[in-house]
């Protein structure tokens, strides 16, 4: 099974900061990597799929990059609405998916 490891677990930042979250896969996932945002008490929201494709309605300050086993979610200028927990997800296998453990972005 593929393991997904995110870092950091918690990130403290201020409005306007550029932030980056890393996700590492235990083996190559051929670019099948997505990112979700989750706020407390709410369902996750799809942000990015296929490493760098923005989901519908997602602001352009969100971007994704990476390949093979290392991937990054970048928020170019953190907004108040962006304080949340972020999860990466691999979907390389045709029979199951795996999420990372999450990265909480909190106010500094």
Partner 1 sequence: EVQLLESGGGLVHPGGSLRLSCAASEFMFNNYAMTWVRQGPGKGLEWVSTISESGERTSHADSVKGRFTISRDNPRNTLYLQMNGLRAEDTAIYYCAREQFAGNFGDTFDYWGQGILVSVSA
φ and ψ at residue 82, rounded to 5 degrees: -90, -5
Q: Which residue has the tokens 């407390």?
A: 40
Q: Which of 22, 63, 69, 98 binds partner 1 (CB under 8 A)?
A: 98
| DSSP secondary structure, 22-87, as one string | EEEESS--TT-EEEEEE-TTS--EEEEETTTEEPTT--TTEEEEEETTEEEEEESS--GGG-SEEE
Record the tokens describing residue 50, joined without a space: 């296929």
x/- binding map, residues 45-64, to partner 1, per CB under 8 A?
Answer: xx--x-----xx--------
Q: Is 100 in the site for partner 1 (CB under 8 A)?
A: yes
Provide, rounded to whole angstroms, the least separation between the CB of residue 16 and partner 1: 28
Site membership for partner 1, residue 31 (CB under 8 A): no
Identify the residue among 19, 34, 73, 84 touching partner 1 (CB under 8 A): 34
Q: Which residues bind partner 1 (CB under 8 A)?
A: 1, 32, 34, 36, 38, 42-46, 49, 55-56, 87, 89, 91, 93-102
């Amino acid at each position: 099974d593929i393991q997904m490891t995110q870092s950091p677990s918690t990130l403290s930042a201020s409005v306007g900061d550029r932030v980056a979250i890393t996700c590492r896969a235990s083996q190559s996932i051929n670019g099948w990597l997505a990112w979700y945002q989750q706020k407390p008490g709410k369902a996750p929201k799809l942000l990015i799929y296929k490493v760098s494709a923005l989901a519908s309605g997602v602001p352009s300050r969100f971007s994704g990059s990476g390949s093979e086993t290392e991937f990054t979610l970048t928020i170019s200028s953190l907004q108040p609405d962006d304080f949340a927990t972020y999860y990466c997800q691999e979907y390389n296998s045709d029979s199951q998916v795996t999420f990372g453990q999450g990265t909480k972005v909190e106010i500094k």
